[in-house]
Structure 1
Amino acid sequence: MWKQELEDVLGEGKVIFKESDVARLSKDCYWFSPVLYEELKDKVADCAVLPETIEQLRTIVAIAVKHRIPLTPRGAGTGNYGQGVPLNGGIILDLTKLNQINGISANEVSVQAGARIGKLEKTLRKEGKELHIYPSTFLTSTVGGFLCGGSGGIGSIRWGNLWDGNVLAVTIMTVEESPKLLTFKGEKVVDYIHNYGTSGILVEAVLPIEAKTEWSQHIAFFDDFKDAVRFSEKLATEERIVKRLLSVCEWPIPEHFHSLKKVVREGKSMVMLEVDESFDDELREWAEAYGGDLGFTIPSSKYQKGMKVSDYTWNHATLWAQKHGENMTYLQARFETERIFEQMDAIRSKFGLEIQFHFEFIKIDGVITPASLPVVLYKSKERLYEIIDYCESIGVVINDPHTYLLGFGGYNLRMEEIEKKKKVNDPYNLLNQGKIPTIAGQAN
């Protein structure tokens, strides 16, 4: 009955029932985790809709509330934790048609949630501006998907994560009989960042922007991974040198970067960088001082045109390992700067190359931190959590990427506040059911 009502209101062809299409739209990149793959592989919605206007979205939400049908918001599906996978069927809300750039001013951009970040960044750079931060999947990911499911990425070395002032305002739609639009600014946006869209459907956002920098891209090669880390630590903390990306992968991770095979050097660890072009010569000297070789450069004139070093950073490194390795997955970790080598040695001594190190240097609360996305040879769920337990026992903080439960993956989420907002904005618990631990499995 509700399916027919959707079609009657939206028009023929506006509601997707084709099984293969619905199955595709019911998935994100949860398969990065073998644990999540087994838990989520059979989860699928009953249908999908692609609203083209806010009013169409409001109509869809009202029908879902009337019939108590679960709603799962979705962007481009580049999330890794099952954020966009419906656990109890219902309707997939594909928001990619809500993709307008509302306005660009000197220091901020207003944009709809379905806008592709790659297109947004391209538009801004034509205006002499650029975003503070964006994910490595920026060409395909959407603003709403990044804000609700992500945390940081390119630019986090300079500007921190999403909740470090990198979202100025959000507008959400409530899920009730007469859906409302609510706008939150300043500190109040925190409750709607990385919340998987559980407490409101994010429809618009205001993001900070800055004057465009001419970024050069580089790869430095090191015989010794510890030298690569030392170089990266020194460079990361040198505020005078303007950086957008600083990523370090130890060998053998780079052997999986097949499209870089003419660049990768056998046995060499790699540091991948985006740096203000005015520092290119100084950067070369720094690399040499630490025993490295700045052996590959993409000039600023080719920035974001064709190959990008960011295509091999963040979880793209994991993706390449999965595509060309065997039984590879990953963890999300945070090492202690003053103990990083001690912690690395302890992990290597216990697990060998079962864990391969990959660091992304970022700011957390203004402090440079060696965040880590180590590639892990997957043997079993039990072994994976043995590794996690050991890492935590030596002071390495783990944000577990092998659960779809909000908050269990870390990020210091304000879970109590998110739950309070959900009760007000989604009183029938229809939004992304099962993702909040305390009410997981509850359905109306």
Structure 2
Amino acid sequence: MDSMIRFDEYLAHLAAGLGHADREAGLRGYCSGLMLPLARKSVEPMAAHLDPLHASARHQALHHFVAKAGWSDAEMLRRVARWVLPTMDLSAGGYWLVDDTGFPKKGRHSVGVARQYCGVLGKQDNCQVAVSVSLACEQASLPMAWRLYLPREWAEDAGRRRQAGVPEEVRFTTKPQIALQQLQALLTAGEPHHCVVADAGYGVDSAFRQGLTAMDLPYVVGITSVVRVWPPGQQPLPPKPWSGKGRPPVATRRSPQHRPLSVKELALSLPPDAFTELTWRQGTHAPLSGRFAAVRVRHAGSASAKQRLHPLQWLLIEWPLAQAEPTRYWLSTLAEDTPLPERVRIAHLRWRIERDYQDLKQDLGLGHYEGRGWRGFHHHASLSIAAYGFLLGQRLRRTGRPRKKNLMGGPVPALPADYRPRGRPAHTAACGGLNHDTASSTGCLPDA
């Protein structure tokens, strides 16, 4: 089927969830603009290239559609998924990939912007951060849920909330809590109980892991080297004997002679033959491989909290041969009989969500939205994911999987010679003839 015919069908499928028929034109224009080969995919340049002779009117229409119109982001993503998932081969299993991504941003008025860790920059800086959950298989992955992380300073600032249009029900929620809410919403909507894969930013949060278990979701999550566990064959001391008064004690105990180890200490204590060289997938230039070991452990929890006996789970350790110590660790509730190569393969599936972010940002303008409001931020992201979903579905339907990502294969409409971006004067004022003495005699005070 011709791509444009399928694109029309796709847009009709999405438009059915917009609430009003007159929003279909905005959907078509915005998704088409996101797939144009433009350097910048904010509203203004997209409008100018979509309709060069009526750029101002098209700009207003697209801006209203993305920043003001009251359609549902959740419904948009649900419809994208219903279109794309039939093209994904989930027969061998699916996986929920949890992650977040940052957007460097200046100023303080754009919703959620704050000085926080930005993965794109690799440091603390002014940025916005959004949490997402993607559904992945061996072939591809697709974002299924998306939400801005609202830092505490924003969540507790009524003035900034009001100006940015933050919904009343949105309160301060940590990133792991947002991810749990997203997963719960997906399960409530009828999605399967796939294994969850996440990095150490989520895996070190014991409440996040417990929340996954409570939802009957197995997981493979990264942790840091300082997380403490009980080594194989060991567990905490039983609770103190009951004195006969009050409630029977349930908290487990430890002592200076009987204590848990950090996962790094445990890894360093393992014999060399505990590690196996494994290849988990074919990379761009060469197979990706490493040395891995896996042992059954119990998470130790905090020494200061009242602890119960945690169930056994897998500790997966990666120790490259050229390194002096292990580099990565994961905890996993996969079945005890899961083969080591399978655990390693699943642990490294996070590369797919990084690829999602790369394509969405570089090719589909995910980080190009210039508005400040909550609704516009989420609408723009949902439309970027919608454009990505169509192109992903097209690639999966084709046997050759062409590398070209942009739908619009023809030339981009040229801008009129007299076109000027908003905010730029039509003609630059000449400064040589200004009479500064005359200007100062008006009695106006300089700006303070």
Q: Structures share a fold, TM > 0.5?
A: no
Q: Which has the higher relative contact order, 1 or 2, with Cα contacts under 8 A spaced 6 or more apart?
A: 2
Which has the larger share of strand? 1
TM-score normalised according to structure 2 size: 0.22
Q: How high is the TM-score relative to the length of structure 1?
A: 0.22
